[in-house]
Amino acid sequence: MDVSATYPLGESARDALVGHITVEAVLAGTVTELRVTPATLRLQAGFAEQGGNRQLAENLRRGAELVTFGDDDVLGFYDMLRPGRSTAAQLDALADRLAGGGATSCAALVREARAAYLRRGLIS
């Protein structure tokens, strides 16, 4: 999806993002779970950046990278990043796993956190 779309989203962009979700489908039980897509998060990141909120845009792009991982994985990543919960080696392994799964910005953030934790003596 192109971020040249205007905010709020017009009908065509909305149709591309939600497509098969209709009241009828929800009532029929064929829509049982809703999840955000990487495309939607990247679109919102574009809007955030256009609005001057670079940090939010970066967070949304990292979120788009994480969508391919399961909920339990993402919660595990969060837990590992809490100071003192992981060793430097474990954070290196996490960064490698994220990068291997296509989450390169998230991997870079983990490496940055690892370096900061080491400087502050929060991990070994």
Contact present, 90 and 76 (Cβ < 8 Å): no
Q: Is the pLDDT of residue 115 over 70?
A: yes
Q: What pLDDT is recorded for position 24?
A: 85
pLDDT band at 1 (very low <50, low <70, confident <90, very high): very low
> What is the rounded (10 degree) CA torsion for 22, 25, 31, 36?
-10
Three-point CA angle 88, 96, 122, nearest 5°: 20
pLDDT band at 13 (very low <50, low <70, confident <90, very high): low
Assign domain 69-124 to its CATH architecture: Orthogonal Bundle (1.10)
117 class by beta-carbon count within 10 Å (0-12 exposed, 13-18 middle, 19+ buried):
buried
Q: What is the mean pLDDT of residues 104-113?
A: 98
Q: What is the pTM of this model?
A: 0.76
Chain position carrying tokens 């100071």: 83
Residue ranges per structural domain of the chain: 1-67, 69-124
